[in-house]
Amino acid sequence: MLKIKKETRNTILWIAIPLVVSLIIFQSGLFLIHAVVPSASMQPTMKVGSHFVGNHMAFWFRKPKVDEIIFFKKDLFQNGRKSLYVKRVVATEGNVVVISGGTELDPHVKVYEDKAAYEKAPHNKDERVLTVPKGSYFVEGDNRSNSYDSRFWKDPFVRADEVEGNVLFQF
């Protein structure tokens, strides 16, 4: 029978147990999620086919911030099926978003901190003005000219209960 020194056995256990627990947690999706980026909407930050690991616990004690990359499930096509999306937060509750000009595929977006700041600025009559509701977010892909995002959706906001977490890293 193979005899293993007590120190060696303890070292193996100290490595093996956390590794097995980590794999179980990762596979369950309880705390972490692994997903693949399916489109070019987040390029150059996240390339098509790259993998990312997201943190489901990220927003248990705080809200997403502007410029943070989040992942969320939303039924964008009103077909009863929610899909997983990855986008960057551009505006949060209370912000005023003005969509105007640019091109049909890439309209310009300007964000104001609140209604008072918006009212002080000059405006065009062809603007689409949206105030982000409480507990919601306005999101865009980093590849603005190739991203189906809040600028185009019938319901342009991601609700807090649709947010699944933030992106920790990609590989």
Given a contact cutoff of 8 angstroms between Cβ atoms, the answer to whether 118 and 112 are in contact is: yes
Q: Which amino acid is at 24?
A: I
Give the span between the Cα atoms of 55 and 140, in whole angstroms: 20
Give the span between the Cα atoms of 148 and 164, in whole angstroms: 19
Tokens for 104? 């049909």
Q: What is the dihedral of CA 56, 76, 68, 126, to 10 degrees?
A: -160
- Is 50 catalytic? The answer is no
Catalytic residue among 22, 41, 100, 147: 41
DSSP state of 127: -
Could you list the active site residues?
A: 41
